[in-house]
C-alpha cells in the first residue's frame, strides 16, 4: 500500500517535533505537511531541520488548506481550541484525525462527535501501549475490589510546562476505575483537596497532581484497603512512545469507516 501522508499540526511543539522524527522513521508513513499557528516564529522553517533530523523539504506553514491538500491524515497534539478547529477541517478534507490533545472540556467534545460522522478520528489522552494496558488492569482491579473496602487515588506528575490538570491520562485511568466499579466518574471524583476536607467519602476516586522539572509523565493508581495497598504504575521516559502510538493509530484508522475511536480500539484492548 502507498505510504500514508501525515500532516503534523503544532509542528514546533514538544510532541510536534517528536512526531516529525517518528513519522520520518516509521514504515508506511511519510511527512506530508507541518502546520503552526499564525504568528509563530517557526513559520517558513523546514520541519525536519527544526526537529533535528536534517532538511526534509517540508516547510512549516499556517495555511491549513495547503498543508491538508493531498494528505491522508493529521497528527494533532496542540491545544483544545486548535483541535476543535482541526476536527472540522480534517473532516472537510476527508483526512484521518489523530487527537492527542488533553484538557478538552465537556462542551468541546461534541465537535469531535460531529466530525467523526464524516471521517475516522482516534482520540486518547495517552497514545502509549503501556498506559492503555494499565487502564485495562485498573478496570479489572476496580471491578474485583469492593468500593466499601478499597479507596482509589490517581496520582500524576508532569513537567513544569504542562498547562492542564489532572492530566488526560489521569482522567483516562480514573474513567477505567469508575467503569470497573460501574459508576460515573464525574459524579464520584474528587479533583482536589485543601483545608478541612472532612474524612474521605467512601466510593470516591481522588486525583492528585504534581508538576515540576522535565518529567515526561508518571501515573499511579493506588487502591488502598485496610492493611494492604495495591499500586499500578506507568512511567514514560521518552515522548517517542506517544508519537509511535499516534502514527500506529493513523495507519490503523486509514481503512476504517467514519467514527470516533480510542487507542483501546487500535490496540485491540477494547472490551
Report the Cα 109 to chain-centroid distance in Å.
14
16 binds ligand NDP (CB under 6 A): yes
Q: How far is the CB of 167 from ligand LZUJQKHR (least distance, A)?
A: 3
Residue 12 contact, options ligand NDP, ligand LZUJQKHR, none, Cβ 5-8 Å cut-off depending on partner type: ligand NDP
Compute the least distance from the CB of residue 23 to ligand NDP, in Å. 15
Q: How far is the CB of 39 from ligand NDP (least distance, A)?
A: 8
- Give the footprint of ligand NDP on residues 17-76 (CB under 6 A): 35-37, 40
Which residue is it, cell 483501546?
264
| Stretch in the footprint of ligand NDP (CB under 6 A) among 12-20, 110-118, 134-142, 196-204 | 12-20
For ligand NDP, give the closer residue by CB, 119 or 126. 126
- Our finding on whether 217 is near ligand LZUJQKHR (CB under 6 A) is yes
Rule CB under 6 A: say whether 166 interacts with ligand NDP.
no
CB nearer ligand LZUJQKHR, residue 181 or residue 219? 219
Q: Answer yes or no whether residue 175 interacts with ligand LZUJQKHR by CB under 6 A.
A: no
Residue number, nearest CB to ligand NDP:
13
Which residues contribute to the annotated binding site?
Answer: 10-15, 36-37, 100-102, 124-127, 159, 168-169
Interaction of residue 180 with ligand NDP, rule CB under 6 A: no
Q: Which residues are catalytic?
A: 158, 162
What number of other Cβ atoms are within 10 A of residue 100's Cβ?
Answer: 25
Interface positions, 62-81, toward ligand LZUJQKHR (CB under 6 A):
none
Q: Three-state SS across the chain? A: CCCEEEEEECCCCHHHHHHHHHHHHCCCEEEEEEECCCCCCCCCCEHHHHCCCCCCCCEEECCHHHHHCCCCEEEECCCHHHHHHHHHHHHHHCCEEEECCCCCCHHHHHHHHHHCCCCEEEECCCCCHHHHHHHHHHHHHHHHCCCCCCEEEEEEEECCCCCCCCCHHHHHHHHHHHHHHCCCHHHHEECCCCCCCCCCCCCCEEEEEEECCCCCEEEEEEEECCCCEEEEEEEECCCHHHHHHHHHHHHHHCCCCCEEECHHHHCCCCC
What are the binding residues for NAD(+)?
10-15, 36, 100-102, 124-127
User: Quick one: what does residue 158 bind among ligand NDP, ligand LZUJQKHR, none, with the CB cut-off 5 to 8 Å set by partner type?
Assistant: ligand LZUJQKHR
- Return the closest-CA partner of residue 235 out of 261, 215, 263, 258: 215
Residues binding ligand NDP (CB under 6 A): 9-10, 12-16, 35-37, 40, 77-79, 82, 100-103, 124-127, 168, 242
Amino acid at each position: 500500500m502507498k505510504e500514508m501522508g501525515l500532516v503534523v499540526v503544532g509542528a514546533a511543539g514538544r510532541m510536534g517535533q517528536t512526531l516529525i522524527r517518528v513519522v520520518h522513521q516509521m514504515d508506511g508513513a511519510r511527512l506530508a505537511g507541518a502546520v503552526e499557528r499564525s504568528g509563530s516564529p517557526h513559520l517558513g522553517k523546514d520541519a525536519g531541520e527544526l526537529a533535528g533530523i536534517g532538511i526534509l523539504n517540508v516547510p512549516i506553514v499556517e495555511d491549513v488548506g495547503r498543508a491538508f491538500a493531498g494528505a491522508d491524515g493529521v497528527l494533532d497534539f496542540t491545544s483544545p481550541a486548535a483541535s476543535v478547529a482541526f476536527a472540522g477541517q480534517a473532516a472537510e478534507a476527508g483526512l484521518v484525525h489523530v487527537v492527542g490533545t488533553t484538557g478538552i472540556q465537556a462542551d468541546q467534545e461534541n465537535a469531535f462527535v460531529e466530525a467523526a460522522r464524516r471521517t475516522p478520528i482516534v482520540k486518547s489522552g495517552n497514545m502509549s501501549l503501556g498506559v492503555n494496558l494499565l487502564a485495562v488492569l485498573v478496570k479489572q482491579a476496580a471491578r474485583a475490589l469492593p468500593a466499601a473496602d478499597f479507596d482509589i487515588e490517581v496520582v500524576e506528575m508532569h513537567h513544569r510546562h504542562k498547562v492542564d490538570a489532572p492530566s488526560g491520562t489521569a482522567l483516562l485511568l480514573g474513567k477505567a476505575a469508575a467503569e470497573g466499579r460501574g459508576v460515573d466518574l464525574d459524579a464520584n471524583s474528587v479533583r482536589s483537596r485543601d483545608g478541612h476536607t472532612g474524612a474521605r467519602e467512601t466510593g470516591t476516586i481522588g486525583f492528585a497532581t504534581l508538576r515540576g522539572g522535565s518529567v515526561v509523565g508518571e501515573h499511579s493508581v493506588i487502591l488502598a484497603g485496610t492493611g494492604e495497598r495495591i499500586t499500578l504504575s506507568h512511567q514514560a521516559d521518552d515522548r517517542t512512545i506517544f508519537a509511535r502510538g499516534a502514527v500506529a493509530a493513523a495507519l490503523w484508522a486509514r481503512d476504517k469507516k467514519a467514527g470516533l475511536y480510542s487507542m483501546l480500539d487500535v490496540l485491540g484492548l477494547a472490551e
